[in-house]
C-alpha cells in the first residue's frame, strides 16, 4: 500500500479521534477540504476578526479586543469579542429553524418558524451595548478563575430583530410568570448531549423591555455564526450571557430560571460585600443584573509619544448598564484632579455614549490618562479595583492609557 | 500413416498450446491476485494529482516536542506532572484556559471538584495530587496589590 494513502487514512482516523466524533462520509470529503473542526485554525480568519484581537482560549473559543480597536461608534464585527461556554455549532439548519415559547407560565406552548417571526412581528433596530460579566477579571487579586479578560469584552453593535415581548405576548404570559430562560443548540464541551453549556435568562421586567430583542441581524447583515446565527436574544446593559445565541426555545418560568450557569456562583456576586478570598455560600450570592458604569479611551492607543506643547485629542465611549452616563471626566495626574469633558446622548437607550477631549500636558514626562464616567444616579467608576468577588465579575475600574511627552 | 502421424502431431501441438495459454492465464490471474492483495482499492490506476493537498500531519515524534522548556503543542511548562496534566485537563477545554489562571492548592482542588460535579470530569485518582502540584508549582499566584502598574507598553510616536 502506498505510504501516503496509508497516512491519509490513518490521519482521518486519528483526526476523528481528536474531534471526538467519527467523520461521517470522511471518504467522500472533497480533496483538499479540511473539516472545520480540524483546521489548525487561524481563528482570526475563521471568525473574520482583526488579527490584533487577543485569543484567550481555543476550546471553547474566547477572544477579546484591545481598547484602541473599539474606536468605532458602532463596533464592526472584526472587533467584537467572542465568548463561548460550549462548542460553536458546526452547522445550522436555517430552513427548519424554529423558536418555541414554552415553560410553566406560557398560556399555550407555541412554535414559530424563522419566516413567521420575521413576517408576523414588527422589526426594530437598536444600538445595544453588550459586555461580558467577567470583563476586567484579569485585574482581581487574588486572581479568580475563568478566562482572564482584560478590557476588551465589550462592544456596541446595531441589532435588528423583533421584540421578545411581542412574541411572548403572542404565546400568552400567565400571571405567575417570573423569569424567562433561553435554550440553544450549542453543545457542552464534554459533548454530553444531556448537558447544556449555558441556559440563562432574565426577569420578566427585562424580558418585556422595548429594547430586548430576538435579533436576526447585526450591523445590517446576518448575525455571524459565532455570534448566534440565525437567532439571538439581545438584552443590552446586562451581562452579555443573558443575550443567548442560537436560541431555539424560550421558557417562561414561574420561578427564577435554573438552567446551566444560573446556579452556583456563575454570573453572581456576593449580595453583601466581602473581603478578598472570603468564602461565600450560594444563598448569599445574587444574580448580576444591570452592569455598572464604565468607560474606555479608544483613541489614542496606549503608548503614544507626543511632542511637548502639542495638545492630545482623546476620545472613547461610556456606558452604564440600564442607566445613562451623566458625566465624563479624565485625569492626567493619577486621579488628583479631574477635568470634565462632553458626553454625547446615546443613540437610543442602552447604547454606549461617546466622549472626546483635548488634553494639555504641563511638562515633559510620563503620564497616564485615566477616564471616569458617572451614571445618572451619581455613581462613578472606582480608581482601584472594585470589591473582590469569587468569580471576578464587574471590574469597572477607571481605564488607563500611558502617554509620554518628549 | 503419415496422415495419422500429422494428426497426432497436430493434437500434441494443440495440447501444448492449450497448456501454454492456460499457464499464461494462471500467471495473469496470479499477478492480478497478488496486486489486489497489496492494493485492494486499485488506487494505482486512479488519478493521483488531487491527493497532494491532503492535511499536513505532524511527524509522530514531534507530537510532544518540548522547546525552551515549553511543551509546544499545549504551551504548558515542561515540568514533572506535565503529561498527567495534558492527559486529564485538555480533553474538554483548551490548555489556554489552564495557563491563564493562577490559584493556590485549595482553589485548584475546589475547581477540580466543581468540574467533577458539574462538567463530567472523571476521578483523577493518584494523578490529582500530581496535577495540583504541577499547577501550583508552575503557575504560582502573583502578588499584584490593588492595582498593577501598566506594563508591556509599546511606545510609538503619535502623529496627526
- Residue identified by cell 503557575 is B139
Sign of CA dihedral A283, A140, A295, A220: negative
In angstroms, rounded to a whole number, what is the distance separating the alpha carbons of residues A297 and A292?
17
Number of domains in chain B: 2
Let me know if residue B159 belongs to a domain: no
pLDDT at A5 over 50: no
Share of chain A above pLDDT 90, in %: 88
Question: Do both B70 and B112 map to the same domain?
Answer: yes
Contact (CB, 8 A) for A117 and A103 = no
Question: Do both B33 and B74 map to the same domain?
Answer: no
C-alpha cell at A232: 439571538
pLDDT value for B34: 73
Task: Give the distance from residue A361's alpha carbon to the nearest chain B alpha carbon, in angstroms.
Answer: 15
Q: DSSP string covering A85-143, please?
A: SSBPPS----TT-EEEEESTTBSS-EEEEHHHHHHHS-EEEEEEEEE-TTTTGGG-SS-
Share of chain B above pLDDT 70, in %: 81
Let me know if residue B145 belongs to a domain: no
Structural element, H or E, at residue A232 = strand A232-234
Let me know if residue B144 belongs to a domain: no
Of A247-256, B87-96, B97-106, highest mean pLDDT: A247-256
Question: Do both B70 and B17 map to the same domain?
Answer: no
C-alpha cell at B141: 499566584
B8: containing domain? 2-43
Residue A230 neighbours by CB distance under 10 Å: 19
In angstroms, rounded to a whole number, what is the distance separating the alpha carbons of residues A144 and A374?
27
Structural domains in chain A?
Answer: 1-40 (no CATH), 83-287 (3.90.420.10), 294-405 (2.60.40.650)
pLDDT tens sequence across A244-302: 999 999 999 999 999 999 998 899 999 999 999 899 999 999 999 999 999 999 999 99
> Which domain CATH number covers B121?
1.10.760
- What would the mean pLDDT of A316-320 be, rounded to a whole number? 98
Question: Do both B85 and B128 map to the same domain?
Answer: yes
pLDDT value for B63: 87
pLDDT value for A15: 43
pLDDT value for B13: 81
Judge whether A7 is closer than 8 Å to chain B, CB to CB.
yes
Contact (CB, 8 A) for A319 and A292 = no
Question: Do both B38 and B65 map to the same domain?
Answer: no
Strands A304-306 and B156-157: parallel
pLDDT at A306 over 90: yes
pLDDT at A347 over 60: yes
* Cβ contacts of B73 within 8 Å, gap of 6 or more: B63, B64, B65
pLDDT at A32 over 60: no
Let me know if residue B65 belongs to a domain: yes
pLDDT at B154 over 50: yes
Query: What residues of A are in contact with residue B97 (Cβ under 8 Å)?
Result: 57, 59, 147
Question: Do both B128 and B82 map to the same domain?
Answer: yes
Let me know if residue B13 belongs to a domain: yes
pLDDT band, residue A33 (cuts 50/70/90): very low
Question: Do both B104 and B78 map to the same domain?
Answer: yes
In angstroms, rounded to a whole number, what is the distance separating the alpha carbons of residues A107 and A67?
46
Closest Cα to residue A56, out of B117, B98, B129?
Answer: B98
Which residue of A7, A147, A305 is in closest CB contact with B97? A147
pLDDT tens sequence across B15-55: 888 888 888 788 888 777 776 776 666 656 555 444 445 55
Judge whether A263 is closer than 8 Å to chain B, CB to CB.
no
Contact (CB, 8 A) for A258 and A244 = no
Let me know if residue B143 belongs to a domain: no
Strand-pairing partners, residue A100, are: A111, A249
Judge whether B54 is closer than 8 Å to chain A, CB to CB.
yes
Judge whether B42 is closer than 8 Å to chain A, CB to CB.
no
Let me know if residue B68 belongs to a domain: yes
Question: Do both B85 and B33 map to the same domain?
Answer: no
Question: Do both B91 and B130 map to the same domain?
Answer: yes
Which residue of B44, B93, B141 is in closest CB contact with A189? B93
In angstroms, rounded to a whole number, what is the distance separating the alpha carbons of residues A103 and A123?
25
Which residue of B100, B144, B157 is in closest CB contact with A147? B100
Lowest mean pLDDT among A26-40, A387-401, B19-33, B44-58: A26-40
Do the Cβ atoms of A58 and B94 come within 8 Å?
Answer: yes
Q: Which residue of A has its CA nearest to B111?
A: A145
In angstroms, rounded to a whole number, what is the distance separating the alpha carbons of residues A164 and A126?
13
Contact (CB, 8 A) for A118 and A266 = no
Query: What residues of A are in contact with residue B45 (Cβ under 8 Å)?
Result: none
Residue B80 neighbours by CB distance under 10 Å: 11
- CA–chain centroid gap for B21, Å, is 50
Angle at A352 between CA A349 and CA A355, to 5 degrees: 125
pLDDT at A406 over 80: yes
- What would the mean pLDDT of A349-354 be, rounded to a whole number? 98
Q: Measuring CA to CA, how many Å separate A372 from each of A86, A175, A327?
A: 35, 42, 8
Question: Do both B39 and B76 map to the same domain?
Answer: no
Let me know if residue B151 belongs to a domain: no
User: What is the model's pTM?
Assistant: 0.80
Backbone dihedral angles phi then psi of residue B112, each to the nearest 5 degrees: -60, -45
Share of chain A above pLDDT 70, in %: 90
Task: Give the distance from residue B136's alpha carbon to the nearest chain A alpha carbon, in angstroms.
Answer: 13
In angstroms, rounded to a whole number, what is the distance separating the alpha carbons of residues B59 and A18?
16
- What would the mean pLDDT of A88-97 be, rounded to a whole number? 94
Of A4-13, B37-46, B62-71, highest mean pLDDT: B62-71
- What would the mean pLDDT of B49-76 be, rounded to a whole number? 74
Question: Do both B78 and B33 map to the same domain?
Answer: no
Q: What is the DSSP letter of A73?
A: S
Q: What is the DSSP letter of B37?
A: H
Question: Do both B90 and B116 map to the same domain?
Answer: yes
Amino acid at each position: 500500500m502506498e505510504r501516503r494513502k496509508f497516512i491519509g487514512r490513518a490521519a482521518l482516523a486519528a483526526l476523528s479521534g481528536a474531534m471526538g466524533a467519527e467523520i461521517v462520509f470522511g471518504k467522500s470529503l472533497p480533496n483538499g477540504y479540511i473539516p472545520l473542526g480540524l483546521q489548525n485554525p487561524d481563528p482570526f480568519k475563521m471568525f473574520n476578526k482583526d488579527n490584533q484581537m487577543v485569543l484567550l482560549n481555543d476550546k471553547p473559543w474566547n477572544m477579546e479586543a484591545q481598547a484602541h480597536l473599539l474606536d468605532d461608534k458602532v463596533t464592526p464585527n472584526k472587533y467584537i469579542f467572542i465568548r463561548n461556554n460550549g462548542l460553536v455549532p458546526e452547522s445550522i439548519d436555517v430552513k427548519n429553524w424554529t423558536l418555541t415559547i414554552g415553560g410553566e407560565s406560557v398560556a399555550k406552548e407555541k412554535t414559530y418558524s424563522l419566516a413567521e417571526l420575521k413576517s408576523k412581528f414588527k422589526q426594530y433596530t437598536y444600538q445595544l451595548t453588550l459586555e461580558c460579566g467577567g470583563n476586567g477579571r484579569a485585574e482581581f487579586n487574588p486572581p479568580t478563575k475563568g478566562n482572564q479578560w482584560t478590557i476588551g469584552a465589550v462592544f456596541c453593535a446595531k441589532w435588528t430583530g423583533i421584540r421578545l415581548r411581542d412574541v411572548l405576548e403572542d404565546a400568552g404570559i400567565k400571571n405567575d410568570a417570573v423569569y424567562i430562560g433561553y435554550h440553544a443548540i450549542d453543545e457542552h464541551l464534554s459533548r454530553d448531549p444531556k448537558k447544556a453549556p449555558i441556559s440563562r435568562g432574565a426577569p420578566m421586567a427585562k424580558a418585556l423591555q422595548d429594547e430586548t430583542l430576538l435579533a436576526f441581524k447585526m450591523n445590517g447583515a446576518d448575525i455571524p455564526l459565532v455570534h448566534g446565527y440565525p437567532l439571538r436574544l439581545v438584552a443590552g446593559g446586562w451581562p452579555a450571557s443573558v443575550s443567548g445565541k442560537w436560541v431555539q426555545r424560550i421558557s417562561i418560568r414561574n420561578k427564577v430560571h435554573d438552567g446551566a450557569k444560573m446556579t452556583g456562583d456563575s454570573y453572581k456576586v456576593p449580595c453583601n460585600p466581602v473581603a478578598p478570598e472570603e468564602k461565600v455560600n450560594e444563598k448569599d450570592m445574587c444574580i448580576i443584573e444591570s452592569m455598572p458604569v464604565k468607560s474606555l479611551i479608544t483613541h489614542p492607543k496606549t503608548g503614544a509619544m507626543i511632542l511637548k506643547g502639542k495638545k492630545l485629542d482623546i476620545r472613547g465611549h461610556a456606558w452604564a448598564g440600564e442607566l445613562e452616563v451623566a458625566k465624563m471626566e479624565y485625569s492626567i495626574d493619577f486621579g488628583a484632579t479631574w477635568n470634565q469633558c462632553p458626553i454625547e446622548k446615546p443613540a437610543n437607550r442602552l447604547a454606549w455614549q461617546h466622549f472626546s477631549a483635548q488634553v494639555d500636558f504641563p511638562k515633559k514626562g510620563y503620564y497616564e490618562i485615566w477616564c471616569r464616567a458617572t451614571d445618572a444616579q451619581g455613581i462613578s467608576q472606582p480608581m482601584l479595583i472594585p470589591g473582590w468577588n469569587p468569580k471576578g465579575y464587574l471590574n469597572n475600574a477607571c481605564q488607563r492609557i500611558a502617554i509620554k511627552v518628549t | 500413416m503419415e496422415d495419422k502421424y500429422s494428426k497426432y502431431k497436430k493434437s500434441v501441438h494443440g495440447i501444448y498450446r492449450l497448456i501454454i495459454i492456460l499457464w499464461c492465464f494462471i500467471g495473469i490471474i496470479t499477478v492480478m491476485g497478488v496486486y489486489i492483495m497489496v492494493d485492494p482499492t486499485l488506487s494505482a490506476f486512479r488519478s493521483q494529482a488531487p491527493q497532494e493537498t491532503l492535511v499536513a500531519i505532524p511527524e509522530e515524534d514531534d507530537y510532544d516536542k518540548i522547546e525552551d522548556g515549553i511543551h509546544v503543542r499545549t504551551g504548558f511548562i515542561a515540568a514533572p506532572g506535565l503529561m498527567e496534566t495534558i492527559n486529564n485537563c485538555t480533553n474538554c477545554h483548551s490548555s489556554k484556559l489552564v495557563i491563564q489562571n493562577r490559584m493556590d492548592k485549595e482553589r485548584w482542588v475546589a475547581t477540580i471538584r466543581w468540574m467533577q460535579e458539574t462538567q463530567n470530569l472523571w476521578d483523577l485518582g493518584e494523578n490529582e495530587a500530581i496535577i495540583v502540584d504541577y499547577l501550583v508549582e508552575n503557575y504560582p499566584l502573583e502578588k499584584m496589590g490593588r492595582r498593577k502598574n501598566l506594563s508591556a507598553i509599546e511606545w510609538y510616536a503619535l502623529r496627526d
